[in-house]
Structure 1
């Protein structure tokens, strides 16, 4: 028996998950829905067997697992509708943009007791799994902190242009979309982080998202995490997280490419694969099947996603949230 799945939200992330669920032996996408009918048609062209539901409620009713790839604000209502029907829920990140609303979401879903997780794409990946094992074994030495660097010529990036909400401060921006992944990774290695200071700059007199961000956070052992992000200038995308140890440091570039340094140049831990995103998504789906079956898994919990959201929204506001 495969896991019958509904996908709500059929932008780039929804269609990408649809494609990879269709390739995975444990999942069957039985229903899809998006308020934009053209998005539904584009998704159905990828997997003709996926049925376009009449509305979100019909999609939820048709499946045992609901994957929510819609923008953050409507996600809570769909997640609770699914959970109240006993459906498993897999949410895209960020968990939300309003901290109080997300606290309530986590409390309600936890009380309902359904399987639930958030799609931080590195959670089940080889890089995080191996770095965590290296940290626990002592291979890295004392954990000194982490550096997060993201730079883009343009935001949103070319492949995100259809998701227009990503360019606005209300729900979008690189801090929510990219830095959040590396904060999640950092907390898995260093433990809970506290914000010390932050600044995010947005274009004046506009509702657009941040173009520059800087922040300093600290772990319980005193390890410091620094963030630097910027948009603008002729340059390739740069997305790097460096976990710094006294013996060995690890650098994760573009989410998946893992390299190590003992003080010299960073050297790849393993050979590149032709499609690292496909490998990562396969690992996420393997663990999603474990989650639905009630088995141990590496996916991001709701509590972990809430902690990351609190950090992100605090960074964007320049204020540490209680």
Structure 2
């Protein structure tokens, strides 16, 4: 017997929400029944492309709908807590964009509401089910890295927000935006997941008169392992996404989200990858969670709150 698709409502149809809608609309495990955004032109485009989906400018039309079993939240993070609490209160599972929130109180409220609800909740960290991440996780469990001595994370952006996010003006605001929240949070999650609870030790960021950070750096710790982060935006140079785990036997370098290399015998060597892990696969895992099957490869609200706390230390 084939499980019926989970009926999904999506709130927020910007770069990420719009992409998730297109993926979910073709997903065998999901049926997108409702979508919400404040921009009428966006709703008109969605209605033309997906006439089977009911669209609205009012989130209550998604949260209160009897035909919605689960909600995907792709709004700016300041709205996550209010919408999450309302969705859970209405008996709907929640798949939320990262960061969990920008307010410590809101983040804790979301975590506690998720725990009390007993419903499926998750945060869409892009690295949670990538095959390259699962390979590093396997290697660490097998002791192949030896003792882990440290982690380095380096991010570099010639343009922020990036071109595909240009319409999301909030991403260039100090209140909710910036590459530390939007991008470093993925690698903070990865480090916490593999090495233990992440916490900020000595971190800082440089802000212009207006807008989000142009540079950030700092020392964090995952358990007892030191984690060094540097990031810069607005540079004359390529985009760089690099995470390196330094071990005494082998070291591992993840570049551009999906290119894994291992250092042994004096050089970096590529690890074969089938490029597994995507919004489609994480939506499938979430559908399974809604049906009652948990997945270790989805990020829960607990780890997302630790990531939020580490990230927000740069803004303190």
TM-score by length of 1: 0.92
Match of 2:254 among 241, 252, 255: 252
Provide the rounded CA distance (Å) in 2 between the counterparts of 1:103 and 1:303: 9
- Provide the secondary structure at the position in 1 that maps to 2:246: strand
Number of the residue aligned with 1:101:
106
- Provide the secondary structure at the position in 2 that maps to 1:117: strand
Provide the rounded CA distance (Å) in 1 between the counterparts of 2:46 and 2:253: 35
Provide the rounded CA distance (Å) in 2 between the counterparts of 1:263 and 1:200: 37
Match of 1:294 among 288, 292, 295: 292
CA positional deviation for 1:46: 4.2
* 1:227 maps to 2:229: yes
Provide the rounded CA distance (Å) in 1 between the counterparts of 2:72 and 2:40: 18
CA contact (8 A) 1:120 1:300 kept: yes
Number of the residue aligned with 1:320:
none
Classify 1:272/1:123 alpha carbon distance in 2 versus 1 (closer, same or farther; 3 Å). closer
Provide the rounded CA distance (Å) in 1 between the counterparts of 2:55 and 2:246: 47
CA positional deviation for 1:53: 2.9
Provide the rounded CA distance (Å) in 1 between the counterparts of 2:173 and 2:291: 38
CA positional deviation for 1:47: 3.2
Q: What is the correspondence of 1:163-312 to structure 2 with a 5 Å cutoff?
A: 163-203=168-208, 205-206=209-210, 208-220=211-223, 222-262=224-264, 264-271=266-273, 279-297=277-295, 298-312=297-311
Match of 2:149 among 141, 144, 149: 144
Superposed CA offset, 1:6-27 (max 9, x none): 0000001001111111222100
CA-atom RMSD in angstroms:
1.6
Classify 1:199/1:263 alpha carbon distance in 2 versus 1 (closer, same or farther; 3 Å). farther
Provide the rounded CA distance (Å) in 1 between the counterparts of 2:115 and 2:315: 27
CA contact (8 A) 1:257 1:272 kept: no
- Provide the secondary structure at the position in 1 that maps to 2:228: strand
Number of residue pairs aligned between Structure 1 and Structure 2: 310
CA contact (8 A) 1:73 1:97 kept: yes
Which range moved further: 33-42 or 87-96? Answer: 33-42
Classify 1:29/1:215 alpha carbon distance in 2 versus 1 (closer, same or farther; 3 Å). same
Provide the rounded CA distance (Å) in 1 between the counterparts of 2:205 and 2:291: 41
Number of the residue aligned with 1:131:
136
Number of the residue aligned with 1:48:
51
CA contact (8 A) 1:198 1:316 kept: no
- Provide the secondary structure at the position in 1 that maps to 2:315: helix
Provide the rounded CA distance (Å) in 2 between the counterparts of 1:12 and 1:44: 17
